[in-house]
Amino acid sequence: MPASESDILQGLAEILQEVAGVAPEQVTPEKNFIDDLDVDSLSMVEVVVAAEEKFEVRIPDDDVKNLRTVGDAVDYIKSAGVAA
């Protein structure tokens, strides 16, 4: 069964805290990874790999550049989970 939006948001918050020290309450759908959460390009790779593992999805590099906000990532993971 695919993860719910709130499960995905919580999972991303855990990853962002581990990888980049972002406080979980900062992780809301409208936040931009680079501008708002100060996640650099290297740490973004870590976030993606950790999300792939956590949610059992595949996020190709070509799609990563479209994931600008937390909400973009939640939507992507949700639909990728359904597709899987």
The answer to whether 50 touches 64, Cβ cutoff 8 Å, is no
Give the total of residues touching another protein (CB under 8 A).
Answer: 8
The answer to whether residue 46 forms part of the interface with another protein (CB under 8 A) is yes
Taking each helix axis as running N to C, give the angle between helix 5-20 and helix 41-55, from 0 to 180 degrees, rounded to the nearest 10.
140
Reduced to 3 states (helix: H, G, I; strand: E, B; else coil), residue 69 is strand
The answer to whether residue 21 forms part of the interface with another protein (CB under 8 A) is yes
Q: How far apart are CA 68 and CA 64, in angstroms?
A: 8
The answer to whether residue 64 forms part of the interface with another protein (CB under 8 A) is no
**Using the rule CB under 8 A, which residue among 23, 34, 49, 84 binds another protein?**
49
> Which residues of the chain form contacts with another protein (CB under 8 A)?
19-21, 42-43, 45-46, 49
